[in-house]
Copies of this chain bind each other. A is one copy, B any other.
Amino acid sequence: MVAREAGIPRSGRVTISDIARRAGVTSGAVSLAINGKPGVSDITRARILRIADEMRWRPNHAAKTLRGQSPHSIGLVLTRPEEVVGEEVFFTKFLAGVQSVLSQRGYSLQLQMATDLASETAIHADWIADGRVDGILVLDPRVDDPRVTALLELGLPAVIVGGDQDGAALTSVRTDDGQFMRVVFDHLLALGHQRIGYITGDQSFAHIRRRIAAFTDYTLESGIWGITLAADFVPQQAKDATQKLMSSPKGPTALIFDSEVMAIAGMATLSELGFAVPGDVSVLSWEDSATCRVLHPTLTALNRDAAALGRQAATGMLRLLDREPADEPAVVASVVPRESTAPPAS
């Protein structure tokens, strides 16, 4: 046991005591120096900082958390049915946006996947009990969402992406789906369409409901023939819905799909049925992706910048944690016109 002398750390892990020994002070002094608190002279502070750097010291996360400091971590549960998981571009892009903001501020992300809302709430409870996260992001809020109710009770900071509640420990990043629908609707209107079909995602989602409400309003407002069909984001259901709509004696001249996967499915069905796009029917996808750009015909899409939404959700969370007032930036969306939309035939 020769080496146990002037500050040679025993293993890979360097602690503030190791630094203290080398610097000839106590661990308390090292703590003060590192955290920029008064109580050590500038010379000593500089020396400690230098040594800490030399020894590659990194704070022990567990020790800090134990002392009641924030874990610097945000939780996110992705709840999607097995069959749909991974098929949507939205999520990964959203995630990338969240990460970019969080990692910049030294936060990490806890991610879990679940298949139903009950297990999502169970995961939240776990995280909270463990003190593993500072706050939780909730995606795809439902009408009367049980997760939101649970989080409100628990009082843990939460950001509802696409929600509309607000509270003490709760912010919503509002996605103005009504406004988005306006943009989509106006695009088709400007082309001269008078008969529009809207094939929707899961109607228990609050934002889908808002889209439908807006769609209905605009049809009434403009006197246009409009019809809504639920397809729950499932490609096969989108195909069935498309078939149903197009087999009507006086079917729509334009179709709106709530996701790019459904839009692609719909286009395939149209092609099978012998309808030309955009000759016979125009198609518009509510979500842009690389696939939309390369399909034939290329797909007109609503581009709402999922990454920006992710950044906004993360920023909202950090503001919530810092007790700063929420900013109201609003993610804008625009229609990217491509080949799949054109004026109607007749």
Q: Which residues of A contact B (CB under 8 A)?
A: 13, 56, 58-63, 65-66, 71, 82-87, 89-93, 95-96, 99-100, 103, 108-113, 126, 129-132, 235-236, 238-239, 261, 264-265, 267-269, 271-272, 289-291, 293-296, 298, 306
Are A268 and B295 also in contact (CB < 8 A) when A13-B131, A112-B109 are?
yes
- The answer, among B82, B100, B112, for a CB contact under 8 Å with A103, is B112
Chain B residues lying within 8 Å of A291, measured Cβ to Cβ, are 87, 235, 261, 264-265, 291
Q: Which of B63, B92, B268, B271 contacts A92 (CB 8 A)?
A: B92
- A231–B20 Cα gap in the complex (Å)? 55
Which residues from B are CB-within-8-Å of A89? 86-87
Instruction: Check B289–A267 contact: CB distance below 8 A.
Output: no
Chain B residues with Cβ below 8 Å from A113 are 95-96, 99-100
CA distance A269 to B87 in the complex (A): 23
Determine how many copies of this chain the complex contains. 2
CA distance A110 to B99 in the complex (A): 12
A58-B129 contact in complex given A235-B290, A268-B294, A294-B264, C-beta closer than 8 Å: yes
Helix, strand, loop or mixed for chain A's interface?
A: helix
B272 touches A130 (CB 8 A): no
Inter-chain CA distance A239–B96, complex, in Å, is 26
Q: Which listed residue (B92, B126, B268) contacts A85, Cβ 8 A? A: B92
The residue in chain B whose Cβ has the minimal distance to the Cβ of A73 is B110
Q: Say which residue of B62, B91, B267 sits within 8 Å of A65 (CB atoms).
A: B62
Partner of A290, one of B103, B112, B131, B261: B261
Asked if A110 and B112 make an inter-chain contact with CB atoms under 8 angstroms apart, the answer reads no
Determine how close the nearest CB of chain B comes to the CB of A172; give it in whole angstroms: 23
List of B residues within 8 angstroms of A126 by Cβ: 58
**CB of A235 to closest CB in B, whole Å:** 5
> In whole angstroms, how far apart are the Cα atoms of A100 and B82 in the complex?
11
8 intermolecular pairs with C-beta atoms under 8 Å apart = A63-B66, A85-B96, A86-B91, A91-B92, A99-B112, A108-B132, A109-B112, A264-B295
Give which listed residue, B56, B58, B293, contacts A130 with CB less than 8 A.
B58
